[in-house]
Amino acid sequence: MEISVAVLLISFLVLLALNVPISVSIGIATLLTMLVTIDPLPALITMAQRMASGIDSFALLAIPFFILSGLLMGSGGIARRIIAFARVLVGMLPGGLAFVNIISCTLFGSISGSAVAATSAIGGFMIPSMNKEGYDKNFNTAVTVASSTTGLLIPPSNILIVFSLASGGVSIAALFIAGYLPGLILALGLMIVCGIWAKAKGYPVGEITPWREALAKTLDAVPSLFLVVLVIGGIISGIFTATEASAIAVLYSLLLSVVVYREVKVNQLPGILVKAVETTAIVMFLIAASSAMSWILSYENIPQTISRALITISENPLLILLTINLILLAVGAFMDMTPAVLIFTPIFLPVVTELGMSPLQFGIVMILNLCIGLCTPPVGSVLFVGASISKTSITSLIRPLLPMYAMMFLVLVLVTYVPAISEYLPRALGLID
């Protein structure tokens, strides 16, 4: 066991240091470990079998559909309409553009299911607008980066589907509903931080939108926002499954972008489809490679060993949960969300369930941990996208991000130690006992 663990860790870290893509690093490290653990021929066969079985899941069909839906919505003028709607809601408050940014990123992130897409689409509009109004460029970027992650908690969210697979079958519908309160609390917490910052810096107060203009912008945004109602309403009512909902989301996005808003031309559709295929291939290869790594970890009894070690650290469940959170925060700073969920769910889920935490609550805790990792160096993808959009350095963003990190960690602690935040809505809707 010691040799196989050493081979897995060393090869994986060396490949990452050589800047090999993480999915390839996971696959090669897993294969090398299997070659050490099993005879060469069976190792190759097992690797192929585990990668194939890792993506042989009906629930995973939802991922390519939600990816395509997000791309269609991202190209269909949705971001501009959501920003206009958010400005109607909070643009008149002190530091109102920061609030507009947070609400827009939250709404667009939930519709597109991608934090990177939210950063790109909303940041491309909001960062220059806030710069013109006298807001600090680094603060503007930090707001976009931090708030873009909230949409991953609010459905439809591909990463929640991945957790359902990794956990052995936690209800996707329950996970979707469980993400609402944590996501909204996180958005509200970031708004509190931005309000205090804006007050201290004396950022400008926006004007109240005339009611006719406000009504027009609200009505213009309603079709975009209705996607969430359509998908979640259909799942909760039992009209369709999460996978069927993803296909309906594609049809609705296509209708909205091509027919209603007319901002996606028919000749643009092949390019959007190709991009959806490319993104899906990357995600599926990540899932396949991570599934193989999860199998070799289980084969070597590593999850059980880590579970026993964690439980012996302390008799205090609160301390053990804090330790798990700190480990996941560190993992999120270095690893993409999908492989992190697939690899570490089998390791930590038995521990938290023994401590009395439900798999549903742990799913939200884990995703929230990894959301924080998306906007932290050295690997945070959302952080790098935000910096490239605003043409600033990563180091310049750290100072305005620090109070946002603190708020995100505070929300994480609340979600970890208060089960009702994750479980109240699914229980009220009869999705869990």
CA angle 215, 217, 221 (to 5 degrees): 115
pLDDT, tens only, 356-394: 899 999 999 999 999 898 888 777 778 888 888 888 888
Q: Which of 68-77, 263-272, 337-346, 420-429 has the lowest mean pLDDT?
A: 68-77
How many Å apart are CA 383 and CA 427, to the nearest integer?
Answer: 35
How many Å apart are CA 284 and CA 275, to the nearest integer?
Answer: 14
pLDDT at 122 over 70: yes
| Helices 394-417/317-334 angle, 10° precision | 150
**Phi then psi dihedrals of residue 349, to 5 deg:** -60, -45
8 Å CB contact between 302 and 5 = yes
Q: What is the mean pLDDT of residues 46-69?
A: 85
At residue 213, the pLDDT reads: 83
How many angstroms separate the Cα of 25 from the Cα of each of 65, 138, 165, 233?
A: 27, 33, 22, 40
pLDDT at 126 over 90: no
68 or 59, higher pLDDT: 68
Query: What single string gives the DSSP state of each residue in 247-278?
Result: HHHHHHHHIIIIIIS--S-GGGHHHHHHHHHH
At residue 405, the pLDDT reads: 93
The domain spans of the chain are 1-54+286-299, 55-264+300-428
How many angstroms separate the Cα of 53 from the Cα of each of 50, 58, 132, 281, 289?
A: 5, 11, 52, 16, 11
pLDDT at 39 over 80: no
CA angle 299, 300, 302 (to 5 degrees): 115
Query: What tokens were used for 272?
Result: 């959007």
At residue 151, the pLDDT reads: 82
Question: Within 10 A of 77 (CB to CB), how many other CB atoms are there?
Answer: 18
Q: What is the mean pLDDT of residues 333-358?
A: 87
At residue 185, the pLDDT reads: 94
Q: Which residues of 113-139 are buried (b: 16+ CB within 10 A; e: fewer)?
A: bbbbbbbbbbbebbbebbeeeebebbb
pLDDT at 1 over 70: no
How many Å apart are CA 369 and CA 344, to the nearest integer?
Answer: 12
Q: How confident is the model at residue 105 (pLDDT cuts 50, 70, 90)?
A: confident
55 or 315, higher pLDDT: 55
219 or 124, higher pLDDT: 219
For a pLDDT cut of 90, what percent of the chain falls above it?
17
Q: What is the mean pLDDT of the chain?
A: 85
**Sequence-distant (≥ 6) Cβ neighbours of residue 305 within 8 angstroms:** none
pLDDT, tens only, 281-324: 888 888 888 888 888 888 887 777 777 777 777 778 889 999 99
Tell me the pTM.
Answer: 0.87
pLDDT at 352 over 80: yes
